Amino acid sequence: MASLASRLAFLRWGVRGFDILVLLAYPTLGAAFAWPGWGTEAAVRFVLFSVLNICLLTFIYLFNDWSDARLNPEEPRQRKVQALKHPEVMSERQVLGLAIALLGVALLGFFFLSRPVFVIGVALTFITLIYSHPRIYCKGVPVLSTLTHHLAFASLYFLAGWALFQPLSWPAVEISLYWGLVLSAGHFSNEIEDFQNDVQARIRTNAIAFGRRPVFRLGLALFLLASLYFLGLAWAGILPRSFAWIGVGLIGLWAIQTFRYRHWKEGDPIRPFRSFYRAVYALTSFLILFLLWWQK
């Protein structure tokens, strides 16, 4: 029987806290765009929404770890944070049971909080199942994996935050597409970093199917395209026009990075690039949140 201390340590080596925090930005940004104004009711709804999202995201990563370990038994050992890393503490059945319980809490909470949010939560769960489940595993289907779990997932997750406070609209969908493009672009570098592990696990990612260099270049192009799209949204008045300078800054930044990495080839380090784009979009997200909430 595992001790209480070892069970609590599961939060450190079995739960991807940083990744959960990153994905939590999408519904938070959606809620910020639709924020009705400062007040107790809005604040309470947002806090409850955030807690439920942490439950949903924890389910997603636990289920993903369970699925990966089913396909590649070496996966838990190879990763620093993996839910099945210490089966003597948390068995496969316990991890799966915890994931399902957290999903139940999240969906039940969404149902009482907002019906549109509940519907989107169900859609996100469906995407997770077809992406990660070892018998379906869209993660191993090039192009489809990007369209479902990155482009569609991020866009829908942004819309979940919007639906918390306002009815969905076409401008909301247009804004959500920007975040889908950003997540899709960033995930290409994840595939490059995980290339060897995916080869061993026989997972046919985009990087394996098309090559690491073409996928890296496509990721750069998508970052630049997303920045142009952001500027277009601001220029059209769908985003606040004051955000146009953010778009201009991102375009310049990614134009420089595209030139800087023009000679990148397979085998070159990818982690510094990942750290760079994560820092860029963390700062961008904080800036957007600050400006939106300051205006409200």
| pLDDT for res 286 | 94
| pLDDT for res 4 | 65
pLDDT at residue 131 tops 80: yes
Q: Is the dihedral of CA 7, 8, 9, 12 positive or negative?
A: positive
Whether the model clears a pTM of 0.85, i.e. scores above it, the answer is yes
Q: Which two tokens stand for residue 206?
A: 């985009």
All structural domains of the chain, each given as residue ranges with its CATH number in brackets, are 4-295 (1.10.600)
Spatial neighbors of 188 by CB under 8 A, at least 6 apart, are 146, 206, 207, 215, 216, 218, 219, 222
Q: Tell me what the pLDDT averaged over the chain comes to.
A: 91
| pLDDT for res 233 | 97
User: Phi and psi dihedrals of 150, rounded to 5?
Assistant: -120, -60
The tens digit of pLDDT for each residue in 24-41 reads 999 999 999 999 888 889
Query: Residue 120's pLDDT band (boundaries 50, 70, 90)?
Result: very high
CA torsion 90-133-185-290 (nearest 10°) is: -60
- Alpha-carbon distance of 159 to 172, in angstroms, equals 7
Mean pLDDT of 130-157: 88
| pLDDT for res 199 | 81
Of 287, 275, 184, 196, the C-alpha closest to 239 is 287
Q: Which two tokens stand for residue 76?
A: 């838990």
Q: What percent of the chain has pLDDT over 90?
A: 66
The tens digit of pLDDT for each residue in 34-84 reads 998 888 899 999 999 999 999 999 999 999 999 988 888 888 888 888 899
Of 190, 209, 166, the C-alpha closest to 277 is 190
The tens digit of pLDDT for each residue in 234-245 reads 999 999 999 999
3-state percent helix, strand, coil for the chain, nearest multiple of 5:
80, 0, 20
| pLDDT for res 251 | 97
Cβ atoms of 83 and 100 closer than 8 Å: no
- The backbone region for 137, taken as left when phi is positive above 0, alpha when psi lies in -120 to 50, beta otherwise, is left
Query: Residue 249's pLDDT band (boundaries 50, 70, 90)?
Result: very high
The tens digit of pLDDT for each residue in 183-217 reads 999 989 988 988 887 787 778 889 898 999 999 99
pLDDT at residue 122 tops 90: yes
Mean pLDDT of 100-124: 97
Q: Which two tokens stand for residue 257?
A: 């990075």
- Alpha-carbon distance of 245 to 178, in angstroms, equals 16
